[in-house]
Each structure stands twice: as C-alpha cells, then as structure tokens.
A and B are shown apart, each in its own frame.
Chain A
Amino acid sequence: MTTDSDLQSTAPTEPVPITSRAESVSSPGLGPGLHSAAGGSLLLEQPPRPSVPRPKRLPSPIRPSDIGGPDVVVLVAAALSSFCLVWVVFYQLTLLSGIFGFLVCWYALFLTLVWVGTAQLVERQAATDRVVAVVVVTAAALIVGIVVFIVVWVAAKALPTMHWGALFTKDQKNFQVAQTDALAHVGILHAIVGSLEQVLLATVLGVPLAVATAIFLNEVGGRGVRLVRTVVTAMSGTPSVVAGIFIYSMLILTHVLPYSGFAASLALIVILLPSVTRVVEEVLRIVPSGLREASLALGAPQWRTVWSVVLPTARSGVVTAVLLGVARIVGETAPLLFTAFGSQVLNANPFVHDQGALPLVIWSDVRQAQPVLIDLAFQAAFVLMSIVLVLFVAARIFGRTKGKKGKATARRPADDVLPRMFVPVPMEGDPGR
C-alpha cells in the first residue's frame, strides 16, 4: 500500500525517467500482457540512459506495505460512522435484531465508507486496493478467530463442571438421572481406553504399511507406481462414513469380526493409510539424492540404503506424519459408529464386544436431554481437543528442519505437507502432470 503523500510527492519530481523506461519495454504495461519475455527484452535492449538531471536526493522508497496516518484515520472514521449508522437504521428504524445481521450490515457499510473515504482523499485505484486489503485481513481474522474461539469455548464449557477425579477413573455405567452431583459418579475412562487402543492398533498396523507404500512410490518405483499414486490420492478422499460402513459390510456383516475396537481400528486405517503415505512420500522426496547415491556407491543394497540412510534422514518428517495422522484419526467419529459401536462401560479388550471412544461419547451424550450428560460430552470434547492440540504442536516442533537458513533444501515439511493429511491434495507426479 502506498501512502497518498508518497504518491503525490513522487509523481512530479521524477516523471521523465519513468516514462522513457516504460517505452523501452515492448509489451504494454499492466494486465494480461505480462510475461517473462518482457523482462528479457528489458535487459537486452536497454537504451543508453537518458541524460536527465536527477534530483540530488531520491524520495524515500515506497513500500507497498506501508500504512500511513491517513489510512488509519480513514479506517477508524469509517468503522465508527458505519457503526453509528447501522445502529440507527438497524435497531431504531427497522427494528431488526440479531448480532449476526448487525455485524454483516456494519461490515458492508464499513467497506463502502473505506472505499469512498480513500477515493476522496487519495484516488480510486488506491481505494480499491485498500478495500481489498481490509477484506483479506478480515477473512483471515475470521478463520483464526473462529479457531481460537472454538478452542477457548470448549475449554470454558468443560472446565467449570469438570470433576477430575471421576472423569479419568469412572465410566458411564453408574449414571442415574436424578442423582445430585452426578458428575462425581460418571467419567469417560471407557472412552479414553477405547480411543487409545483403537488409535494405537491403527497406528501400529497402518504406519508401517503407509511407510512401505511411500517407499514403493518414491524409492523403488517401477510398474504400478502411477496407478498406486492415483489410488492413494483417490483413497484419501474417501468419505470417513464410507470407511466405516466398508469395514462393517466386509467384516462385521459377514461375521468375520464382532463389533469391536479392532474393527474400528481397521476402519481408521482406511483413513490413516493414504494420509500418512502422502506425507511420508513428500518427506522422502526431499531427502537429497546424493545420500542415496553415496550409499549405493559404497555397495549397499537398496533395502540397506533405505533403512540406514533414507529413513533416518527423513526421521523428523516421518514422526511429523505419524503425529498428524494420529491427530487426524483420533477425532474421527463416523467410522466408529459402525465398528466400535460405542459402549457405556469399560471394555479393555479391543477384540471382542462394543467399545467406547471419545468421539462416540460426545456423539451419543450430546443428543441426550440430560444436562449431566451434555456436561460430560463437553468434558470429553475438551479431552479430545487437548489431545489433538498436543499432537498438532508436537508435529510442528518435530517438523521444524534444523538445516541452515536460506538453503534450497531447507523446506519445512510440516508447513507444506500438513494439508495433505486432511484433504486429497494431489501428490506431485500424479496424472495430469
């Protein structure tokens, strides 16, 4: 953003060099005509410098990010006046209500006023630029605000009624409707144990499979790589509810397995496998190939190279992938509905009988009309949220590369690959490339 004073002071002092420079560029200035050929011709056909007397001191450089005093004045004035105007119209004249509608109207009017104000004070192009900046900042603030709000809100709902002793040591079998201090007699031990076992089983079974698939895609290659890559991308978009009813239709309906924590962990693998594969593949990709070649040149077979060179180099990335994968599956509810089925009592054996899980406790308790159970659901949500947060932060800490600054290889896996855990972002080398 340029401040208006800068714009006005530059324009008259240095007009000649700018125009002569612009004429030497063959393509028309702005818009769709910009391509790299224009940059090339600028270098090649640079005419001799026009001998225009330059001003002794150049004006201070214009930084696009500068927000000057007038901008702040316009923003504050627009915010205030639009607030007052909307308040009058909304509550006094039209007798509308609802904070959400008020905010929407206020914001729309605010943007209009910012545009008009800047257009009056500076000019129209700057006004558009300013309005876009405001919109863009609002959008990001909205999302960040919602995330922070949800985290704080869950904690605020859960903590006041929290009965720490009971929460982690009791299950829900002692729940009685008319009990005073019922929260001292119920807890979510059954759900914590269930979630722990299901996620652990899914991780132990799924992660080696995912790492092996990633090694196949990135290290071994050969026939079938394209197909497997497409399949992994397609699979990562599998609806989680479909993962659940798939295991149900294949294993439970055919009486291979009963409703159990193990069936749930198999459903979770369907979600975990493609996500972790994609992240690990991305991590293996940034292992410098010089290391592999050095190992192979020393005569090591490929399995030894992968095991002793590639995987150790990519260790932090693989750990990140596993942590994020666990964070992803620990909150999945839909696959568990059809496999673990949920239970009110503690069942420590994941291979037989229904089993509780944290998301399932929230899902079933929040739909009851019992205030105590709703409180319990919020406490379970708080525990779940804390687990996800801890895993997320841990993943970012592990994902931080310790490489030297400014090196081309010093990419930060956690930043780049995180979305791949949650959406079927295509992998590089997918068809269409």
Chain B
Amino acid sequence: MSSIVDVPRVDPAGRFPEPLRLVDDHGLGDKIFRRGVRLAGLFSLLILFFIGLFLFLQGFPALRRAGIHFFTSSGFQTLGAHPVYGVAASVVGTLEVAAVAMVVGTPVAVATAIFLSEYAPTWSRRSLIALVDLAAAIPSIIFGLWAVFEMQPNVVGFATWLSKHVAFVPFFRVNSPPLNASLFMAGLIVGIMIVPIVASICREVFSLAPPGEREAALALGATRWQMIRSVVIPFGRGGIVGAVMLGLGRALEETIAVSIVLGASFRISPYILQHGGSTISQLIAVNFGSGGKLGLQDLLFCGFVLFVMTLAINLAASRIVNRSRSGAGIEL
C-alpha cells in the first residue's frame, strides 16, 4: 500500500522546502474503482442524450414533411397520398387533462400533506404515510381499470349536472350527449394519481418548518390553522410550487390510465366534459404500429415533444424545490 502523504525531503538547511501535500492516490485498485463508477455515472448522461437524439433523428422526417403544420394541424391519417397528422389537438388535450388534474389534485394533496404533517396523531402517522405512498406505488393500469369500471359510472351524473347547471362556465358546455370517456374523466383520474406525489413533497417541506416559529405562534394564542397559515405555509411556499410542478410533469406524461379512459378523437375544444379527446402520450400508445412508416415517425417526434416538455418542467421544479429546501428565498 502506498503512503497517502508525500514524505517531505528535508533540505541541508533543515527546513521543509514545501508544505505537506495530501496525495489522492491509493494504487491501481482505486484507480479502476473510480474510473468504473464515473463511467457508470456518465452512462446515465449517455442514455438521456441518446433518448433525445434518437427520438429526434428518427422522428424528424415527419416534421420535415409536415413543416409548421405538424404543430398546427391534428390527426393521425398517415397512410395514403395526402397524409394529415400533427400534435395540435394532442398538445391542447394534454394541457387540458393536466389542468383538470392539477385543479382536482393540488388542493387535496396540499390538504393531505397538512394533515400528515400537522394533524395526524403520532401513533397513526407512519401507517397513514405508508398508505398515501402506496397510492403512488399502485400501477397506473390499475388506476385506469378502476377509473373505467368504478369511478366513471359514478361521476357521469355529476358531469351531466355540471353541463346542465354550470354551463355558464364555458368549459362545462356540451354539444353532444355522451359524457363518458372525456378529457374531464381522464383529468380526474390523473388528478387522483398525482395526489400522493405532490403530498409527499409538500409533507417533507412542511415538516422542515422551524419548530421555534411554530411554537411562538401557538404561544401567542394562534389557533392551529392560524399557525399553519402564518408559519408552515409561508415557509413551504416554494416547496408547494415545486411539488405542484413535479405533479404537473407527472400529469403530462401519464399514458396508460389516460389511454384506457379517454375515447380517442382529434377535436380541439375547450369543452372538457364532452366525449373524446387526445393527449400526446395517449396518441403514441394507442396508434403505435398502425400508421405505416410515416405514422411511426410522427409518433416518435410526438415522443420527442413530450420528452422536451417534461424535461423542462421537471428541471425547473427541481430547482424550486431545492431552493425552498435550503431555506433561501423565504421571507417570513
């Protein structure tokens, strides 16, 4: 074994010519070890790079053929002499599903997080957290099954009621009667699916709120809600925003549950209660293998669009969560 410190050479005058220096060399074994794990780390880099590269390269012909119409038209008729395809309806549908999911999921998730970190009795907290986390572990295909067979029949009545009595809100208007398999239903199940995710992050951020300030608020006579409103939530605000964005990333990418629930149609409309719709991931999952070569390229480029969208959102969200975790940017 080589020594980890350079043995200093003493010059004739008896002084050390140079200070002691730590040497970062532990022999061949460590060299191999360090190279090896660095390679493993760089492998992730390679995968991410290849995802972007291959989807772009293999899908690019579809973009080149359609030009700007790829983003302005919608459909999946790639066979025949005059193909019509594009992501317009799918992008809009993705955003609509995600919007419904966020509107439904965020309040429930934040409330659940507040319950878990502030209200849950200590003896039950661990098991409750486990149950909420279990919701994140349930495969999305099982959520999809549940949504179709159990949730949808019970919610259609409510959707009908919304379309009849709240139709002054433009989103709730309906042109034709069937109200199942709509973007609203898809958004609802995705909203349920993101709750455990957003709740976990919020809970973590809430539990970091300083105990001194909490106790100070309570000691001054604040009710528990006043304490939460004046200490816990301001402290965790950045974390909530980041958590919601991470939930949004998850809502944008959800494939299987949406594909099972949603009836496919390429109609751009703000009427979310109406039957049918399309999202990017649903477009890919449902139409794979049915559109010939051009269809395949179209789907691959759709995948690239989805990849870039989620990548941007997730990275931005990570930044926000981390900044809030470190305590920067918090003004109580």
Contacts and interface: CB of A to CB of B under 8 A. Distances in A.
Interface stretch (B40-48, B84-92, B169-177, B269-277): B40-48
Interface string A76-111: 000000000000000000001111110010000000
B231 A246 contact: no
A166 to B, nearest CB: 21
Contact of B255 (A220, A249, A334): A334
Given A36-B213, A338-B288, A238 B50 contact: no
Contacts of A219: 37
B230 to A, nearest CB: 5
A128 interface: yes
B103 interface: no
Contacts of B317: 424, 426
Contacts of B119: 65, 133, 136-137
A24 B253 CA distance: 55
| Most chain B CB neighbours (cut-off 10 Å) among A99, A139, A157, A250 | A139
A278 B119 CA distance: 29
B65 interface: no
B131 A147 contact: yes
A246 B306 CA distance: 12
A239 B307 contact: yes
A396 B134 CA distance: 11
A263 interface: no
Interface stretch (B12-20, B74-82, B150-158): B150-158
Given A234-B311, A274-B44, A220 B38 contact: yes
A333 B140 contact: yes
B137 A328 contact: yes
Contact of A337 (B128, B250, B285): B285
Contact of B54 (A241, A249, A419): A249
A228 B201 contact: no
Contacts of B318: 233, 424-426, 430, 432
B114 to A, nearest CB: 5
B33 A306 contact: yes
Given A250-B50, A425-B201, A213 B314 contact: no
A34 B112 contact: no
Contacts of A246: 50-51, 54-55, 303
B281 A140 contact: no
A183 interface: no
A288 B16 CA distance: 36
B319 A423 contact: no
Contacts of A274: 44
B139 A337 contact: no
A253 interface: yes
A303 B30 contact: yes
A295 to B, nearest CB: 12
Nearest to B46: A231
Interface residues of A, number: 126
B210 A36 contact: yes
A263 to B, nearest CB: 14
Contacts of B108: 139, 142-143
Given A150-B146, A239-B310, A38 B332 contact: no
A277 interface: yes
B126 A216 contact: no
A125 B317 CA distance: 35
Nearest to B25: A301
A376 interface: no
B190 interface: no
Contacts of B154: 98-100
Contacts of A100: 154-155, 157-158
A277 to B, nearest CB: 7
Given A34-B217, A246-B51, A425-B201, A239 B160 contact: no
A301 B44 contact: no
Interface in B251-268: 252-253, 255-256, 260
Interface stretch (A186-194, A308-316, A358-366): A358-366
B225 A333 contact: no
Interface string A246-281: 100110010000000000000000100110010000
B139 A333 contact: yes
Contacts of B161: 96, 98, 101
A140 B111 contact: yes
Contacts of A422: 136-137, 196-197
A140 B120 contact: yes
A362 B141 CA distance: 8
A153 B197 CA distance: 22
Nearest to A208: B40
A118 B261 CA distance: 42
B303 A377 contact: no
B97 interface: no
| Most chain A CB neighbours (cut-off 10 Å) among B118, B138, B141, B249 | B141
Contacts of A136: 111-112, 114-115, 118-119
15 contacts: A31-B230, A136-B118, A136-B119, A139-B112, A147-B134, A209-B43, A231-B45, A239-B306, A241-B303, A242-B253, A359-B256, A389-B134, A423-B246, A423-B250, A425-B204
Given A212-B37, A225-B41, A228-B44, 18 more contacts: A30-B222, A39-B212, A65-B119, A98-B160, A99-B157, A137-B115, A140-B112, A143-B131, A144-B132, A150-B143, A239-B255, A249-B58, A332-B139, A337-B285, A378-B145, A384-B139, A431-B319, A432-B322
Interface of A: 1-2, 22, 29-32, 34-36, 38-39, 64-65, 96-101, 104, 125-126, 128-129, 132-133, 135-140, 142-144, 146-151, 153-154, 157, 209, 212-213, 215-217, 219-220, 222, 224-225, 227-228, 230-243, 245-246, 249-250, 253, 270, 273-274, 277, 299, 301-304, 306, 324, 327-328, 330-334, 337-338, 359, 362-363, 366-367, 377-378, 381, 384-385, 388-389, 392, 396, 415-416, 418-419, 421-426, 428, 430-433
